[in-house]
Amino acid sequence: MTQRDYNAFDRALIGVDQTLRTLFGRPALTGRARPGKGHDDVELTDHEQRHIGRLMRVNHTGEVCAQALYQGQALTARNRDVREGLERSAREENDHLAWCEERIDELGGRKSVLNPLWFAGSFAMGSLAGFAGDRWSLGFVVETERQVEDHLESHIAQVPADDYRTRAILEQMKLDEAHHAAVATAAGGAELPGPIKLAMRTVSKVMTRGAYWV
């Protein structure tokens, strides 16, 4: 059976499997090698190790949210091509999820215990974006990815220049987010109103600060 033959019930079951993999298991990856893994790790101070571990926890939670957003949007997409494009981007973002988790483990950190809560809220937001229509849903992707690019840039600036294992992950993630934004724009994503963008930034700050500490 190809993906185009899946009915609503099939997609719901796939969604449940993806949710469990995202929160508790191992997501399906594209096969890309983890950026920077071939480089030796650097000696970090205790403060640097804790801080970078928390930054990567924030990024991991961001990828949990990304999976939930894409699932909610794909579930409510009207156009099959739009739905398949969202699912394709979600598969690529699974790499980010795994890379962040591996780096967290290397740094002796942990994932956010609030990930199920972040996932549920993001899924609801993604579903609402999908219900608004495909153009608005794609526009939501564009704005989300732009904000994530800014967020990643701020994290890269906080990582020591010689910590290539962390920086390589963040830099590749930033490239991928820019690509996803470009794809969504080309597919017809609409520019979101200013108040919606502001609300998205506010929610992102709450998640970021919460995940850094919890």
CATH number of 72's domain: 1.20.1260.10
Neighbours of 79 (CB within 10 A): 15
Q: How many angstroms separate the CA atoms of 155 and 104, rounded? A: 14
Task: Check pLDDT > 70 for residue 64.
Answer: yes
Q: Is residue 4 part of a domain?
A: no
Task: Check pLDDT > 50 for residue 2.
Answer: no
Q: Is residue 24 part of a domain?
A: no
Neighbours of 185 (CB within 10 A): 17
SS3 92: helix
Domain count, the chain: 1
Write the single-letter amino acid at 59.
N
Which has the minimum average pLDDT: 9-13, 117-121, 143-147? 9-13
Give me the domain span that covers residue 95. Answer: 40-213
Instruction: Find all residues with CB under 8 Å of 64, minimum gap 6, and list them.
Output: 22, 23, 97, 112, 115, 118, 119, 122
Q: Is residue 19 part of a domain?
A: no
Q: What pLDDT does residue 15 have?
A: 77
Q: Is residue 174 part of a domain?
A: yes
Task: Check pLDDT > 60 for residue 3.
Answer: no
Q: Is residue 68 part of a domain?
A: yes
Q: Is residue 65 part of a domain?
A: yes
Closest CA relative to residue 199, chosen from 142, 144, 151: 144
Task: Check pLDDT > 80 for residue 10.
Answer: no
What is the phi/psi pair of residue 190, to 5°? -90, 150
122, 68 contact by CB (below 8 A): yes
- State pTM to two decimals: 0.92
Q: What pLDDT does residue 85 have?
A: 93
For residue range 84-102, what is the model confidence (pLDDT) as tens digits? Answer: 999 899 998 999 999 999 9
- Confidence class for position 25, pLDDT limits 50, 70, 90: confident
27, 98 contact by CB (below 8 A): yes
The total number of residues shown for the chain amounts to: 214
- Confidence class for position 1, pLDDT limits 50, 70, 90: very low
Chain center to CA of 59 = 8
103, 35 contact by CB (below 8 A): no
Q: Is residue 206 part of a domain?
A: yes
Q: Is residue 33 part of a domain?
A: no
Write the single-letter amino acid at 61.
T
